[in-house]
Structure 1
Amino acid sequence: MFDTPVITEQIRAIAPDFRAMSIHVDAKAAAEGSLDPGFLADACDLVSAGGPSWADAHLASWSEAYQRFGAKPNRTPCSAQALRKRVVKDGRIPAINPVVDLYNAISLRYALPVGGENFDAYVGRPHLIIADGTEVFDTVMNGEAVVENPAPGEVIWRDDLGVTCRRWNWRQGTRTRLEAATGRMWFILETLGTMPEDALEEAGEVLVEGLSRLMPGCAILKQKISLAGP
């Protein structure tokens, strides 16, 4: 149903302990379900209470990885750090839509970057690579659609058409943004060695359970991926 994402060998010098959970979903024949309205709020409460226990160490590892490819994590933090900062400051993050709220809650609950993508908008397989600076990235600036290029040496996710996420998992592009629980979707849960491996397995299972409740009857493929392969 889906090809395995490609993690290029270039990533080893930046994060040799990188591993991830890839979850593909086909909801074309799924029914309409719902998400527990307290799921996101409970995740925010966990963060406010200081959890999970590995959060500080894991997010510090992401900051170090960002520095290795020239990013400034205080200015452009990984997605999990950005979410966590908002919760620490405000106590909550606003609801967006059920599928985004679900994976944001997983990100907060497990202190790991989680991306959700509209896989029907993809051209070819997702690749995690080092940018050469010529790739195109569709985004919005001051309310206007613009096209950017990543910095040479920047870690990016891309497909055959262009960049789908800049600075590893910092900013998602508009072309593959996931806005509804329909069609084909792809979720990627990304970790480094300072997060317990069993916590990644648990996070993947919780996300699968949530997706199954949100889209009853959807088909789900879950794969662990790393530099060593699936």
Structure 2
Amino acid sequence: MRFRHADTIWATFPELASGALYATGIGAAADTGPRAAAYTARALARLADTTEGEFPEVLAWRRAFSRMGMKPTQYRCASESLLRRLRKEGTLPRIHPLVDLCNALSVAYAVPVAVLDVDRIAGPLLEVRPAAGDETYTAFGGGVERPAAGEVTFVDSAGRAHARRWTHRQSGHSAVGEHTRRVLVVTEAMHDDGAEAVSDLLKTLQEEVAAHWEAVTESAVLTGAAPDFVFGD
């Protein structure tokens, strides 16, 4: 399978930094709680001095959302939403060991981290691109939506959208659960030091996955010059 950002995305958002990791052998029995708590504590320490709305990582995504014609405080990127929840509640929900770990890394680095069940994605291509308007998106509640033409989303080869408004909300169709064994994790940043943050987050995630699962992993940092991540069989 191949994951990539369309050329038009790189042209419109040259500041984008992205990385992807594929892992097989993931299960729901691992205990990532202590490590997730350590990364969450890093975010809480940062939130003690300011709000997430002042973070350069969040402000960069707000600018990107504004450029896409969206009100950034109405549609927040996933990392901002998690940070906001963490600031208000002091904790993050427990969903799945890998999702919990990735959510904790997302708040620690203040950048979006998407986790998708590969077996729920129709290959051979998953592409971040503007929607054509005929894609289908399944919400977590089971309802079916159609992203508007031009909305940036993750689209597979069957025309299924796996996100709404790029990094705002993932799809319930490819959500990780008890059945999941193969995952694709994508992290994306827009701020000045985004490339360094993405590279460091990717390395950290690969180490954590190796420590908690007997998993086989592949990863890559993506750029406009090298936008493709080919993974799996």
TM-score (norm 1): 0.87
Going from structure 1 to structure 2, the CA distance change for 1:150 and 1:31 (only over 3 Å counts) comes to: closer
Amino acid at match of 2:213: M
Question: In 1, are the aligned partners of 2:152 and 2:166 still within 8 Å (CA)?
Answer: yes
Q: Which of residues 163, 167, 170 in structure 2 aligns to 1:169?
A: 167
**Structure 1 residue 117 displacement after superposition:** 0.5
* Structure 1 vs Structure 2 CA RMSD: 2.4
Q: How does 1:209-224 map to 2 (within 5 A)?
A: 209-216=207-214, 218-224=215-221
Counterpart position of 2:99: 100
Amino acid at match of 2:31: L
In structure 2, C-alpha distance between the alignment counterparts of 1:60 and 1:189, rounded to whole Å = 17
Question: In 2, are the aligned partners of 1:6 and 1:127 still within 8 Å (CA)?
Answer: yes
Counterpart position of 1:225: 222
**Structure 1 residue 36 displacement after superposition:** 4.0
Question: In 2, are the aligned partners of 1:114 and 1:187 still within 8 Å (CA)?
Answer: yes
SS of structure 1 residue aligned to 2:46: coil
Check if 1:197 corresponds to 2:195. yes
SS of structure 1 residue aligned to 2:55: helix
In structure 2, C-alpha distance between the alignment counterparts of 1:200 and 1:219, rounded to whole Å = 20
**Structure 1 residue 35 displacement after superposition:** 3.3
Amino acid at match of 2:134: T
Q: How does 1:33-72 map to 2 (within 5 A)?
A: 34-50=30-46, 56-72=55-71
In structure 1, C-alpha distance between the alignment counterparts of 2:98 and 2:60, rounded to whole Å = 27
Counterpart position of 1:134: 134
**Structure 1 residue 182 displacement after superposition:** 4.1
Q: 1:101-154: CA deviations, max 9, x gaps? A: 1110110111110010000111112101011222111114xx5x2211112221
Check if 1:152 corresponds to 2:153. no
Going from structure 1 to structure 2, the CA distance change for 1:181 and 1:46 (only over 3 Å counts) comes to: farther
Q: How many residues align?
A: 222
Greater Cα offset, 38-47 or 131-140: 38-47
Greater Cα offset, 186-195 or 38-47: 38-47
**Structure 1 residue 210 displacement after superposition:** 1.4
Question: In 2, are the aligned partners of 1:17 and 1:193 still within 8 Å (CA)?
Answer: yes
Unaligned runs of 5+ in 1: none
Going from structure 1 to structure 2, the CA distance change for 1:46 and 1:181 (only over 3 Å counts) comes to: farther
SS of structure 2 residue aligned to 1:169: coil
**Structure 1 residue 14 displacement after superposition:** 3.5
Q: How does 1:8-23 map to 2 (within 5 A)?
A: 8-23=6-21
Question: In 1, are the aligned partners of 2:27 and 2:180 still within 8 Å (CA)?
Answer: no
Runs of 4+ in 1 over 6 A off after TM superposition: 30-33, 51-55
**Structure 1 residue 193 displacement after superposition:** 3.9
Going from structure 1 to structure 2, the CA distance change for 1:72 and 1:31 (only over 3 Å counts) comes to: closer
In structure 1, C-alpha distance between the alignment counterparts of 2:32 and 2:97, rounded to whole Å = 9
Question: In 2, are the aligned partners of 1:19 and 1:227 still within 8 Å (CA)?
Answer: no
